[in-house]
């Protein structure tokens, strides 16, 4: 790769353009790119770059930092949108590649290792990296041959993916008065974390907290990766975690023919019993592999009221047996 700054062939350009180049964010001072925050940029700085598929006189360097999840960081995806770079309605070609530089010298182009394809595009496009290393700086090099003195060259860049973000864990279902331990990873521990809301929680700072909510509550935690702020959320459910229909119509019309409780699928050891009004069991299920179709031993049961009991049998959830009634209509 060759990075050439202001060669003699460009000295005839207007002084204003050269002044812009001197302020440009090149490899020595890349623009910070934060995940989940669309960033509007302009390509107007004279910085010739030759690397991989790139051979562009106007370039920009953007830098992002991966999280500290050492077990698995994963890839990133960069989306290029709102592209306004062309002349008389004819779009110019743009080029992009993600590289891992020398962590101590971003301008040591001999050390650059490509961690994504090098792509060319003229309309909205997505660029996906390979799995990245944790706690590492990467550079997005973006370039074009579009002449900025003729018309502007602008676009929006968005960074997403499992490599950039913090992870709160874990969702829980509690009975009234029970507690759950929540944790977060991925951010810079030296910069800390902040949790909210500040109710029924052991502390609002740090990676580990204990919550004892009186009602279902979503806790949000914020932290930093490099200079970028990130957040994640985790919901703690208090009481019955299931949404249970109170009726169904097994008349084979293809609509509402099954008594289906999708939330129950998460509880593999759950035990369900359905009784008729005389207390006889008409349906039983462990793990709820199959919703009830309104039959007993293959024969339709009469319409009317039925009663159920559900034991979730979850080691981390000490809820009493869930009971209720439903109406079967034919």
Query: What's the pLDDT score for residue 24?
Result: 59
Query: What's the pLDDT score for residue 60?
Result: 95
Mean pLDDT of 104-116: 95
- What DSSP string describes 90-114? EEPPEEEEEEE-BTTBTT-GGG-EE
Cis peptide before 31 (omega within 30 of 0): no
Query: What's the pLDDT score for residue 242?
Result: 86
Give the model confidence (pLDDT) of 218-265 as tens digits: 999 999 999 999 999 999 988 888 889 999 999 999 999 999 999 888
Query: What's the pLDDT score for residue 22?
Result: 38
Distances (CA, A) of 200 to 180, 195, 219, 317: 11, 11, 10, 18
Hey, which residues does 31 pair with through a beta bridge?
A: 62
Give the model confidence (pLDDT) of 75-93 as tens digits: 999 999 999 998 888 899 9
Query: What's the pLDDT score for residue 71?
Result: 81
CA 203 remoteness from chain centre = 26
Query: What's the pLDDT score for residue 3?
Result: 46
Joined tokens for residue 269: 């050891």
Give the model confidence (pLDDT) of 163-212 as tens digits: 999 999 998 888 888 899 999 999 999 999 999 999 999 999 999 999 99
Mean pLDDT of 150-154: 92
Residue with the larger pLDDT of the pair 12 and 139: 139
Range in 103-107, 137-141, 152-156, 285-289 the model is least confident about? 285-289
User: What dihedral angle (degrees, nearest 10) is formed by the CA atoms of 43, 47, 48, 52?
Assistant: -70
- What DSSP string describes 192-215? --EEES-SSBS-SBSSEEEE--SS
The residue written with tokens 């790769």 in the block is: 1
Give the model confidence (pLDDT) of 21-45 as tens digits: 334 578 999 999 999 889 999 998 8
The residue written with tokens 């169904």 in the block is: 248
Whether residue 19 is predicted with pLDDT greater than 60 in this model: the reply is no
The residue written with tokens 């502007």 in the block is: 152
Nearest CA-CA partner of 153 in 87, 88, 97 = 87
User: Among the ranges 6-10, 53-57, 209-213, 317-321, which has the highest mean pLDDT value?
Assistant: 209-213
Whether residue 129 is predicted with pLDDT greater than 90 in this model: the reply is yes
Evaluate whether 324 touches 291 at the Cβ level (below 8 Å): no
Whether residue 2 is predicted with pLDDT greater than 60 in this model: the reply is no
Joined tokens for residue 64: 């992002």
Query: What's the pLDDT score for residue 316?
Result: 64
Give the model confidence (pLDDT) of 250-309 as tens digits: 999 999 999 999 988 888 889 999 999 999 999 999 887 789 999 999 999 999 999 999
Instruction: Give the domains, in start order, of the chain with CATH numbers.
Output: 2-160 (2.60.120.680), 167-238 (2.60.40.10), 247-328 (2.60.40)
Grade residue 11 by pLDDT with cuts at 50, 70 and 90: very low
The average confidence (pLDDT) of the chain is: 89
């Amino acid at each position: 790769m060759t990075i050439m700054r202001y060669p003699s062939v460009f000295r005839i350009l207007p002084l204003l353009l050269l002044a812009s180049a001197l302020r440009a964010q090149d490899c020595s001072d890349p623009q910070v790119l934060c995940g989940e925050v669309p960033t509007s940029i302009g390509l107007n700085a004279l910085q010739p770059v030759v690397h991989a598929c790139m051979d562009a006189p106007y370039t920009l360097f953007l830098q992002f930092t991966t999280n500290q999840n050492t077990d698995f960081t994963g890839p990133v995806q960069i989306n290029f949108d709102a592209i306004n770079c062309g002349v008389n309605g004819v779009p110019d070609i743009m080029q992009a590649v993600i590289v891992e530089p020398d962590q101590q010298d971003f301008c040591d182009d001999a050390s650059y290792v490509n961690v994504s394809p090098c792509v060319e595009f003229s309309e909205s496009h997505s660029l996906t990296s390979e799995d990245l290393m944790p706690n590492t700086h990467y550079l997005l090099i973006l370039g074009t041959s579009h002449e900025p003195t003729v018309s502007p060259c602008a676009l929006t860049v968005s960074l997403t993916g499992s490599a950039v973000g913090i992870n709160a864990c874990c969702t829980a279902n509690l009975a009234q008065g029970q507690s759950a331990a929540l944790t977060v990873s991925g951010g810079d521990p030296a910069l800390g974390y902040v949790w909210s809301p500040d109710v029924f929680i052991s502390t609002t700072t740090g990676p580990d907290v204990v919550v004892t909510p009186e009602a279902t509550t979503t806790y949000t935690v914020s932290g930093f990766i490099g200079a970028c702020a990130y957040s994640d959320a985790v919901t703690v459910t208090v009481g019955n975690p299931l949404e249970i229909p109170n009726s169904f119509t097994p008349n084979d019309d293809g609509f509402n023919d099954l008594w289906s409780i999708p939330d129950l699928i998460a509880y593999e050891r759950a035990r369900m019993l359905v009784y008729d009004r005389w207390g006889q069991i008409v349906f039983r299920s462990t793990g709820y592999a199959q919703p009830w179709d309104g039959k007993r031993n293959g024969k339709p049961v009469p319409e009317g009221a039925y009663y159920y009991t559900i034991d979730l049998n979850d080691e981390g959830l000490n809820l009493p047996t869930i009971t209720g009634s439903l109406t079967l209509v034919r």
